[in-house]
Amino acid sequence: MTLRSRPVPEAALTGSLRDFRSPEGPDLIDRIAGFYDWQNLRREHNLWPYARSISTAPQAHCDAQSDTGEPFSGINFGSQDYLNLSSHPAVKAAAIDAINQFGVHSAGSAALLGNTSYSLQLEQAMSRFLGDREIVLYPTGWAAGYGAVQAIVRPNDHVILDILAHSCLQEGAKAATQNVHFHGHLNLEALARKLSRIREEDKNNGILVVTESLYSMHSDTPDLRAIRTLCDQFNAILLVDCAHDLGSVGDDGLGHLGLQNAMDAVDIIVGSFSKTLGSNGGFVAVKDKATSEYLKYFSASHTFSNALSPMQAASVLAALTIVRSEEGRALRRKLMDNIVYMRDALAKAGLEAMGNPSPIVPVRLGVEAVGRFASRNLMDLGGIANLVEYPAVPQGGSRFRFQVMASHTHEDIDQVVDILARAMREADLEYRLGHEGQSDERRARSIA
């Protein structure tokens, strides 16, 4: 009996990371072993699609390997490099120049001697891009989100977050205060109710309202100006994380902040360079120097972590120059053309793309078992996309997150949609047939 025709045990198709989040017992190491057992059961049946690595550049087609070293290759919709700037010749040349000049390391925190001429230029260029805001750089986008919230919120203050706000924002809030409140996703009435109740009970402490300009699991966006109005009504500060749409969406690349004419409406903008701007790194953009200087010394993930390497700062600087150029505009147009083409192709195949057009095209798979089968099948058939499951998304709402890049061709999209339809059809069949595992023969029949 081949591995693929072996029955898949129920335990490999159910459960989630959440089951292992709060282990109990006196031995801190012993008590976490259950996770590895569950993970291995999934791995044994090729149902663990995480921690894969690429062995070629993250282009539209790439070679990769699973976390057990099994090689695969395919049409790549699993990398976040929306305008393909990480492989752009000018960005690579800037990185090489920076290495020749500085070596590969910043060799210190930005609060000490870790800044380089490239990071200073990057601060200035980001400031110009974002309407003359004050910029603070962080080693990653995660560090920026975490650090911005943690720096300005104190234990008596309140943080209200959209239930789907990114982990960095939630963790920053939890580190800062126990007064962490969540409202339903994009539900402004619920936000208004929370604000009203908190202000009624507490007039003396601060309230930080936290949202994102593009939610990457749903591809949807809040009404930022309406949130601003609520913040004004209840004396709250507004923080918006624009990791996924800054640089990639809108004619000017300002994402939904630009599209909604909401740049001024936001007190604290948080962002990542790692989706569109070609390298790791993040930033916080605020309206005055007093706030940016405060962040530089009270935001732990900025102050107590090494600064962006010279190579990262130079790469982002070069990528930002392209983002703001005519070439950047053309790349965004190509990207949006691909996005619309893909959503149409999915609809023609009878599949639904969730949310609104953005570089992220989520496709719902449903219960976790179907998601896991579909993810395995997609990889086998030559498609690469990331599976997202509970608790990152609601239970029973597993999905693929296709990340579209400007360099995808319409043929790539047609092919991946075809592969996806097959992968889902097979997954559904396998699930309905009682998880018996698909032999190659049965797969051939179901595809035919």
Ligand X SMILES: Cc1ncc(COP(=O)(O)O)c(C=O)c1O
Nearer to ligand X, 241 or 412 (CB): 241
- By beta-carbon distance, which residue lies closest to ligand X? 141
Nearer to ligand X, 281 or 397 (CB): 281
Characterize the bridge pairing of strands 207-212 and 158-162.
parallel
Q: Taking the complex as a whole, how short is the minimal distance between the CB of residue 39 and ligand X, in angstroms?
A: 21
Contacts of 31 (CB under 8 A, 6+ apart): 23, 24, 25
Please identify which residue in the block is written with the tokens 């075809």: 418
Least CB distance to ligand X at residue 362 (A): 13
Cβ at position 352, least distance to ligand X in Å: 22
* Residue closer to ligand X, measured from CB, 144 or 381: 144
- Least distance CB 429 / ligand X (angstroms): 33
3-state secondary structure (DSSP) of residue 448: coil
DSSP H or E stretch at residue 88: none
Planar angle of CA 72, 74, 75, nearest 5 degrees: 160
When the beta carbons of 246 and 331 are compared against ligand X, the nearer one is 246
Nearest to 272 by CA among 289, 257, 285: 285
Which runs of consecutive H residues, i.e. helices, occur in 45-116?
89-102
CB closer to ligand X out of 377 and 398: 398
Q: In this complex, which beta carbon is closest to ligand X, that of residue 198 or of residue 269?
A: 269
Query: How far is the C-alpha of 49 from the C-alpha of 67, rounded, in Å?
Result: 8
Q: Closest approach of Cβ 146 to ligand X, in Å? A: 9
Binding site for ligand X (CB under 6 A): 140-142, 145, 166, 168, 212, 216, 241, 243-244, 272, 274, 282
Least separation in angstroms between CB 245 and ligand X: 10
| Rounded Cα distance, 48 and 37, in Å | 12
The closest alpha carbon to 270, from 256, 257, 258, 282, belongs to 282
Q: How far is the CB of 3 from ligand X (least distance, A)?
A: 33
- Nearer to ligand X by C-beta: 46 or 84? 84
Report whether 256 contacts 213 (CB < 8 A). yes
Query: Which run of H or E residues covers position 207?
Result: strand 207-212
